[in-house]
Amino acid sequence: MCEIGEQIKRIRKEKGLTQSYVSKLLGYKSASMLSEIESGKKGLDATKIPLLAEILTVEINELFFVRNVLDKRTDVEIA
């Protein structure tokens, strides 16, 4: 298990998305809120989790678990 903020930041960067872009889609007025979530200073409102997963085009559980941990738990080999 990992910190959700770290996962959000990692996935967001992998997708080439800016904090400003993701923040706007989440309904935040500025990127500073997402920055604080990614750094662990603030928590993510649980009601925003499904929307965030959709924005990042990932399954919700990927926000909470590192991908290689998921692969081991499901015995699915990802190429």
Q: What confidence tens digit (pLDDT) does each residue in 15-60 have?
A: 999 999 999 999 999 999 999 999 999 999 999 999 999 999 999 9
pTM: 0.78
Q: Would you place residue 65 in the very low, low, confident or very high pLDDT band (cuts 50, 70, 90)? A: confident
* Exposure letters 16-32 (e unless 16+ CB within 10 A, then b): eeebeebbeebebeebe
More confident residue, 29 or 70: 29
